Structures are given as structure tokens and as C-alpha cells.
Structure 1
């Protein structure tokens, strides 16, 4: 009888372990260990809903590793994967524990910052950018340095829904990429530059 109970306990423990493992696999990017895209979208929606209800702010950082295709082409995909893992580590360490870093896709990452304004979000993005620019990956072809461009958009100033904030952070990221890379650009800065050119 005791062995039957022990077997049942062992099976229950194993099932619990497998459930947690499956849950982690379903919500986490396998390469970087960050939140995956699907889970990020859900958590973003939840965060925006809470922010609207409580009058908080939320900022979105969209980050893209500069010249990543060249990294893969010149150093190989294993080094490219290592770059992504190292960038992910910075994204886990620099923001606060309550913030949500995610692998958005390919060499693009996203970070959700809870209850910060645009200036605070830009400061966090700058810290991330600086830490990433300090990364050096040793390769057979010599050391590889990494940089990242970041676009920033914030709720409610830059948009009130996920799609608008993602679009505006992406446009700010595009602007950062096309004005020198290794930069942080906010949606407000993109708008200010457009207004300046129009006048």
C-alpha cells in the first residue's frame, strides 16, 4: 500500500514538473529565456488595461541589434545566437524587476516599462544602449562589438492602444536606425523633427 501511495506521489510530482516546464516553454523564447512574442502581447494588453484604470503610464521600448545580418553572415549563426543571448541578459539586468523584456522577433526585442514617463523611459533605454555597446563577444575572427538602436513610445502621450504604441515605437526605432544607429529616439522626437522640417 505504501509503495502505491509513493508511486502516486511521484507521478503527481512528475506531472507538476512537466506542467511547469510546458508552461515555461509556451511563454518563453527558447534561445534567450525572455518572454516570447505572444506572451509579450498579452502582458502588454494587461499592462495597458491596468494603466488606463489606475491612471499610470507605460512605456514601450523596441530595440534592434544593429547590423545583425552582417553578424550572422560574417561570424556565423552560433555567434549571432550568442549576441542575442548576451543582449537578452542586458535586457534582464538593466530595467527593474517589474518591467517586462521580451524577444519580439529575430534580432528585435521589446521592453515594457511600468509607470514611467517618456523621459524616464528614454533614460532606461540609454542605459540599455550603453550596456549593450560595452558587450564584446570573442570569436575566432577576433572580438565582436555590438550596438543597438531603440525606439520609445509611451502611454498615454504617444498612443492609447497597443497597435498605435507599437507602430510609433517602431517608427522611432526606424528613425534611430536611419540617423546613425546606436541611438535612442522617442516618438516625440520624431514628431518634433517632422514639425521642424515642415516649418
Structure 2
């Protein structure tokens, strides 16, 4: 079977395909790598934020416990005079002070701009505004504890009026409630930040998935399609003659060897026709190579019209053609060659003022038992073609 001759006019050319593929691949991978890095960074931020939130919630939660611890052991100290209770209470308020510095820095209630920690409006209100005023109440609480711890219960007269110290009421009501609200607010804000980062991570992740899809659709798919067309074009050019659109000599030889092997194995007849355009050099000299090329193509088309789909037609040389006919005896091959000679002789090119008639000479040969390959069969057909030329051209000779 022969290809559509119009296929030879289609060109799929990639200039420097290796560079084209490399650049496309690198750019696509770079974009995916950038998006993957963003996902990784956002994930890192999520993990860091979870860690920081956990730390802040832990510290703020300690404030509640430390306030109760300081209050309890201060009362125990006032009642029993235990130095151990004194030290535990003192260490508790010192720890509260360090925790508060870690949470809000060193605030100046008269110059809020001097605070070292940036707080949300909600936390700012909890620490520095009514009704909770946590910073003020914490300061009053620790000062009250310090005054109580400064008392020596073994020297002072008993009983003490424990409720005269502010820490008792603060630890029980306003300070504890405020510290509880602070912990809740830190939890809310931490979770909100984590959710925001997770949302951003999801957005970037889906952008990456969409990017991969779009790259596959608009970059890799066109690239693969273009390379596929280019590969098909290379395959076509490796098998077919660029001018006539029929098989070239190399492709014919491969197909012919397979056909001969099949014919010998199944003991089937097989013949070959070689045809050569008569006086083709004079056509080029008289009419020019452009007309000569048109003659080459027209003869190929006329030959192709007259053969079967199972026959193999190829351009064997400059103006020489060869046809392999499986399951065909030399008698039938001779009849076909005569028909081809007649059809070619009817081919007239050009206009009425400068017309060109074309004729061909043919040689025919049939496969015989001692033919080892296509070359021996071609040699006999070529010798017959030589005799056709010698006898006056435009004729068929059996070899």
C-alpha cells in the first residue's frame, strides 16, 4: 500500500528538538518545584504555629495554676510559718512574672506603644481593660503575695486576718476569671491562625494540582503531539521518496525480502517489474528540472493507479521505478507491464504550444528456485529492461 502523496507536503519541523524538550521539561518542573516549596514552607509555618500556640497556651494556662499555688502556700505560710510554703509561694509569683513577660513583654500602661509584644485587640482588652484587666490584677496579686510573705507569722500576733490581703479575693474571683479568658482567647487565636495557614496550604496544593493538569494539557500534551508528528515525519522520510511520495529503495528492499521469504516458504509465484522513463535526461535539458520533477511525480501516480494494494511500488533510482507483485506469475506480470507502458504513453504534460509526451521501457522477471534474495531477481529484470532500451525503448521484455 502507498501513502497519500499529499502527506509529503506536510512539514512538522522542530528546530533543535533536544533543546526544546529540555527547556519545556525544566520550566515545567521548576514551576511545580516552586509550588511544592511553597506548600512545604506553609506546612512548616503550620507546624511552627502549632508549636508556638501550644507553648503560649501552656504558659497562659500555668498562670492560673500558679496563682492558685501562690495563694494556697501563702495562706499556709501565714498559718504555719513554714519556710517551705514561703519558698513555694515566692517561686510561684516569680514564675508568674516571667510568664507574663513572655506573653506580653514589659508593658507600660501609660504608654502602650512601649509594649514589646504585639497583642490582638481582644487580648489587649483582656490584659489592659475592664472588666478583667489581667495585667493590673496580676500586678496587684503578686504585690499582695509579696506583702503577705514579708510578714513573719511567728512574730506577729495571731490570729491574722487573712482576708485583709488582696490576693485572696483576686485568686478566687477576678484574676482567675481573667486568666481563664486569656487562655481561651489564646486558644481561639492560635486555632484561627492554624486554620488560616492550613487553608493557604490547601489553596497552594490545589493550585499545584491545577498547574500540573494545565501543564499536562497545554505543555506536555502539545509537546508530545508535536514530537509524535515529528517522529512520524522522520519515519515517513526514512521510508518514502520525498519527490514522488512512493517507497524509496531501502524500504522496498526490506519489504521485498519478506515477500520473497513468504513466497518460497509457501511455494507461491512472485514477480518484479522495473521501469525506466525514456530519454529523461533530454526532458531535464529541454524543459528544466522543475518539469522533470513533475514527470517523476506524474509517472509515480500513473503507476500507482494501475497496481493492486498488495503490490509494492518504489522509486528505485533517478527515473527508475520498481514494482514487486506477490502471488503473480511472469505471464500476468507481463500483461500488467504492457498495460503500464500503454498508460504511461498516454501521459501528456505541458500545454498545446509546448507539450511533452512520456514513454517508459520495462523489464519483467519471475522468482525462481535458486534466487536467494531480491537482488538476483532485480538483476534479471534489469537485464530485461536493458534489452527493452536496446530494442528501441517504449516496450516490455521478459528476463
Normalization by structure 1: what TM-score?
Answer: 0.89
Q: Are 1:35 and 2:252 an aligned pair?
A: no
1:41 is displaced (CA, Å) by 1.1
Distance (whole Å) between structure 1 residues aligned to residue 373 and residue 397 of structure 2: 20
1:182 is displaced (CA, Å) by 0.5
Distance (whole Å) between structure 1 residues aligned to residue 338 and residue 228 of structure 2: 41
Alignment map for 1:91-170 (pairs within 5 Å): 91-138=303-350, 142-156=354-368, 159-170=371-382
Aligned equivalent of 1:3? 214
Distance (whole Å) between structure 2 residues aligned to residue 185 and residue 158 of structure 1: 21
Distance (whole Å) between structure 1 residues aligned to residue 294 and residue 362 of structure 2: 20
Are residues 156 and 62 of structure 1, via their aligned partners in 2, closer, same or farther at CA, if it must alter by over 3 Å? same
Aligned equivalent of 2:232? 20
Normalization by structure 2: what TM-score?
Answer: 0.45
Distance (whole Å) between structure 2 residues aligned to residue 108 and residue 15 of structure 1: 34
Aligned equivalent of 1:45? 257
1:139 is displaced (CA, Å) by 5.4
Are residues 157 and 121 of structure 1, via their aligned partners in 2, closer, same or farther at CA, if it must alter by over 3 Å? farther
Distance (whole Å) between structure 1 residues aligned to residue 282 and residue 370 of structure 2: 33
Contact 1:75 1:141 in 2 (8 A): no
1:161 is displaced (CA, Å) by 2.7
Q: Give runs of ≥4 in structure 1 deviating > 2 Å.
A: 156-161
Residue-by-residue CA offset, 1:23-69 (whole Å, 9 max, x unaligned): 00111000000100111111111110111111111111110000111
SS in 2 for 1:8: helix
1:140 is displaced (CA, Å) by 8.8
Aligned equivalent of 1:191? none
1:160 is displaced (CA, Å) by 4.7
Aligned pair partner of 1:70 in 278, 282, 294: 282
Distance (whole Å) between structure 2 residues aligned to residue 159 and residue 180 of structure 1: 29
Higher helix share: 2
Aligned equivalent of 2:95? none
Distance (whole Å) between structure 1 residues aligned to residue 266 and residue 350 of structure 2: 47
Q: Which has the higher contact order (CA 8 A, sep 6+)?
A: 1
SS in 1 for 2:316: strand
Mean alpha-carbon deviation: is it higher for 69-78 or for 144-153?
A: 69-78
Contact 1:158 1:165 in 2 (8 A): no
Structure showing greater Rg: 2
Distance (whole Å) between structure 1 residues aligned to residue 370 and residue 276 of structure 2: 20
Q: Are 1:179 and 2:358 an aligned pair?
A: no
Q: How many residues align?
A: 187
Residue-by-residue CA offset, 1:138-195 (whole Å, 9 max, x unaligned): 05961100000000011127845322111100000000011121001111xxxxxxxx
Distance (whole Å) between structure 2 residues aligned to residue 40 and residue 158 of structure 1: 21
